[in-house]
């Protein structure tokens, strides 16, 4: 199990410290701390959490690796779990757990997320936390995580705009796989944001000694941002559905044009087929068979008929 420990300074900055320093300071009731846990086994995590005087129920829940959003507020601890979407990742199976006590925030997630979270942590150290408190720290972490989704949303929006422009210039320049790929990404992000939005709505009502967001003006900001992002992602989904319908209509129009062309060709050759069918019958008495110029006249008549029909259909615009 790997630990990265931070102390929240009075001016709102995060400074990295050792776990021994964190443990000693927290037991004295001094300072605000954040412990980032990665590459852990459930048994060792449960044993490690016991030193922080955490209730058995929360410890048991912390050791359960379930893919579900949840918020469990107790008198002295608050545990909540939210899904994550990392830029460029096509799965939403990653979950991050927050365990908050008075003056202490513990986060843990699968080992595959460790490197990415450390990158976020290095950025968080440059962020000015609004207040030197655990609620403000949690808010800052959630904002940092949301920035990943915001970045992905902006890139998705740009890609969709490019597809729309290409389709406006040439409907045949866009393949359905491009549209479906973007729809899958929007579906995944929409699921993550919807779960986060529901979680933040509940967190905004929490008022306990361990964690309180009730009446917090800055936490209302992330609730509002998440709700707006949820609506924006829904709009992206609607735009992609419109693109898919346009693609389907274009394919149907292309099929109709091909059927119309086949219909015209059939109409052109149908009289000639009838003509040759009549003179292909095996009757002994057919006067035209004795006529010296019957064959070239028949060919000329069929050619004239075909040319006349081609001119007629072209004049009527059937070839457009």
CA distance 202 to 281: 87
Q: What is the pLDDT of residue 134?
A: 85
| Four-residue CA torsion sign, 114, 120, 126, 132 | negative
Give the model's pLDDT for residue 115.
52
Q: Which carries the bigger pLDDT value, residue 248 or residue 217?
A: 248
Q: What local confidence, expressed as pLDDT, does residue 266 receive?
A: 81
Residue 133's pLDDT is: 82
Mean pLDDT of 162-186: 90
pLDDT range class, residue 68, cuts 50, 70, 90: confident
Question: Does pLDDT of 87 surpass 60?
Answer: no
Angle between helices 217-278 and 176-203 (to 10 degrees): 160
Of 46-60, 104-118, 292-306, the range with the highest mean pLDDT is 46-60
Side-chain half-sphere exposure of 238, counting CA atoms within 13 A: 6
The pLDDT-based confidence of 233 (bands split at 50, 70, 90) is very high
Is the pLDDT at 62 greater than 90, yes or no? no
The mean pLDDT value of the chain amounts to 81
pLDDT band for 86, please (50, 70, 90 cuts): low
What's the average model confidence in pLDDT over 294-301? 78
Q: What average pLDDT does this structure show over 268-279?
A: 76
Where does the pLDDT of residue 69 fall: very low under 50, low under 70, confident under 90, or very high at 90 and above? Answer: confident
Q: Is the pLDDT reported for residue 19 higher than 80?
A: yes
Q: How confident is the model at residue 244 (pLDDT cuts 50, 70, 90)?
A: very high
Cβ-contact 158, 182 below 8 angstroms: no
Which range has the worst mean pLDDT, 49-53, 55-59, 111-115, 133-137? 111-115
Q: How far apart are CA 160 and CA 239, in angstroms?
A: 8
pTM over 0.75: no
Q: Which residue has the tokens 């559905």?
A: 241
The reported pLDDT for the residue numbered 90 is 53
Range 167-171 average pLDDT: 88
């Amino acid at each position: 199990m790997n630990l990265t420990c931070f102390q929240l300074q009075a001016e709102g900055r995060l400074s990295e410290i050792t776990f021994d320093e964190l443990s000693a300071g927290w037991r004295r009731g001094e300072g605000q701390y954040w412990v980032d846990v990665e590459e852990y086994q459930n048994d060792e995590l449960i044993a490690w959490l016991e030193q922080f005087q955490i209730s058995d129920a929360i410890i048991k829940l912390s050791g359960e690796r379930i893919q579900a959003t949840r918020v469990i507020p107790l008198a002295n601890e608050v545990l909540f779990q939210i899904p994550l979407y990392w830029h460029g990742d096509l799965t939403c199976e990653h979950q991050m757990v927050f365990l908050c006590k008075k003056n202490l925030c513990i986060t843990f997630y699968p080992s595959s997320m460790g490197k990415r979270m450390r990158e976020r942590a290095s950025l968080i150290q440059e962020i000015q936390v609004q207040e030197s408190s655990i609620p403000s720290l949690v808010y800052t972490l959630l904002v940092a995580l949301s920035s990943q989704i915001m970045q992905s949303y902006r890139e998705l929006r740009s890609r969709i705009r490019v597809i729309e422009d290409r389709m406006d210039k040439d409907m045949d320049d866009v393949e359905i796989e491009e549209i479906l790929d973007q729809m899958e990404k929007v579906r995944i992000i929409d699921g993550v944001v919807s779960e986060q939005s529901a979680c933040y709505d509940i967190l905004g009502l929490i008022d306990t000694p361990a964690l309180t967001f009730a009446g917090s003006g800055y936490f209302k900001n992330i609730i509002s941002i998440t709700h707006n992002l949820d609506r924006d992602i829904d709009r992206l989904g609607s735009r992609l559905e419109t693109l898919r319908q346009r693609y389907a209509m274009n394919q149907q129009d292309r099929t109709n044009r091909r059927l119309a062309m086949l219909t015209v060709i059939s109409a052109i050759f149908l009289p000639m087929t009838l003509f040759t069918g009549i003179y292909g019958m095996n009757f002994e008495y057919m006067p035209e068979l004795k006529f010296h110029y019957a064959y070239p006249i028949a060919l000329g008549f069929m050619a004239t008929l075909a040319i006349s029909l081609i001119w007629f259909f072209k004049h009527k615009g059937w070839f457009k």
